[in-house]
Amino acid sequence: MKALVLSGGKGTRLRPLTHTMAKQLVPVANQPILGYVMNHISQAGIKEVGVIIAPETGKEVKEYLGDGSKWDFSITYIEQDAPLGLAHAVKTAEKFLGNSAFVMYLGDNLLGTGLIDAIKRFKKESPDALIFLKEVENPTAFGVAVLNKKGEIKQLIEKPKTPPSNLALVGVYLFSPKIHEAIKRIKPSWRGELEITDAIQELIKMGYKVIGEKLDGWWLDTGKKDDFLAANTTVLDDYAIRKIEGSIDNSSKIEGRVTISAGAVIKSSTIRGPVIIGEGAHILNSFIGPFTSIGKGAKIIDSVIEHSVILDDATVEGIERLEDSLIGRLSKVTLGSGHTKALRLMIGDHSQVEV
């Protein structure tokens, strides 16, 4: 079995941050989203991985992933000229995939579970598609699946106005080579894209077996700021540990599950977990509250921060309260002549905001 990871697209919903960074490389708990995806693929024992990249962000993705050796697999990069749909991405990768079954994993999705159990089921039951599904409160925002009594998928509907179920399609799929045949039979949607939902529906129409795998754990699509912050919260809640490698002075307090990486310096501050502080970060006379990630080399001075993600080498100084915020690399948020009780910000890399 091979894997196909989609790391293209333009990330318009996370702009301005994605003007200078691939959305799949935005860090959750100080690790790029794409890193969690690759961990799941590696844990499943897959050795050949194709990565769909875009012309705009492909170089940065390549720099992060390299040849795949740190995950014990090989990577083949496949450029998709334009984001023309998930099925188009599979079509673009057909030469790489050949006659192999494969996992398709969207690079901006996070699962609380891995792939091992689903792959075992796929091999045991031999369907032509296994689709991860998750019960959601707002099914009108997703493609949804209708199952028969056997648990097989009988219909897929993209963003229905009147949803027939609350089972949303998660961004992880397992396919047999039959999917290529189905893709050749479909036409672009009204959006001008080859939709994977149409291809799977075509598999059903052709009489092939399509089954659903319901997720008991969490699933997060990190396409928008609030989704991204929710992902950071969930990952920290599940995985944060207490690990102190940096320097802490006697006037500072570290409470709960807090990771302070090597080279970080904490002075006259309180850190209340779950929190992760990156290498070389400096926290001075500040409070860092729960569900916050501070990147490498960041500086937090005379400020209060909660439920936020501060990326590498950013500076926050003199801010009475910053929450629900996403601050880009090498950016600065500082106090000017104004006065505000609480800020919620989303700013891109190399920005400067004075409040």
CA-based Rg of the chain, rounded to a whole angstrom?
A: 22
> For the chain, how many residues are written?
355
> What contacts 69, CB < 8 A, 6 or more positions away?
none
Report which residue type is found at 72.
D
Question: What is the reported pLDDT for 18?
Answer: 59
Question: What is the reported pLDDT for 243?
Answer: 95
Question: What is the reported pLDDT for 261?
Answer: 96
Dist. CA 264–CA 254, nearest whole Å = 13
pTM recorded for the entire structure? 0.86
Dist. CA 237–CA 216, nearest whole Å = 17
Q: What is the pLDDT along the chain (355 residues), one digit of tens a residue?
A: 999 999 876 555 555 665 666 778 888 889 888 999 999 999 999 999 999 998 888 888 999 999 999 999 999 999 988 778 899 999 999 999 999 999 999 988 888 788 899 999 999 999 999 998 988 888 887 778 888 877 778 888 877 788 888 888 888 999 999 999 999 999 988 877 888 989 999 999 999 999 988 888 777 766 667 777 888 898 899 888 999 999 999 999 999 999 999 999 999 999 999 999 999 999 999 999 999 999 999 999 999 999 999 999 999 999 999 999 999 899 999 887 666 678 888 888 888 888 8
Strand order in the sheet with 287-288: 253-255, 270-272, 287-288, 304-306, 322-323
Question: What is the reported pLDDT for 10?
Answer: 55
Residue 84: count other Cβ atoms within 10 Å of its Cβ.
17
Question: What is the reported pLDDT for 344?
Answer: 87
Question: What is the reported pLDDT for 275?
Answer: 96
**Domains of the chain with bracketed CATH:** 2-235 (3.90.550.10), 240-354 (2.160.10.10)
Dist. CA 67–CA 103, nearest whole Å = 19
**Contact in structure between 17 and 55 (CB atoms under 8 Å):** no
**Contact in structure between 269 and 288 (CB atoms under 8 Å):** yes
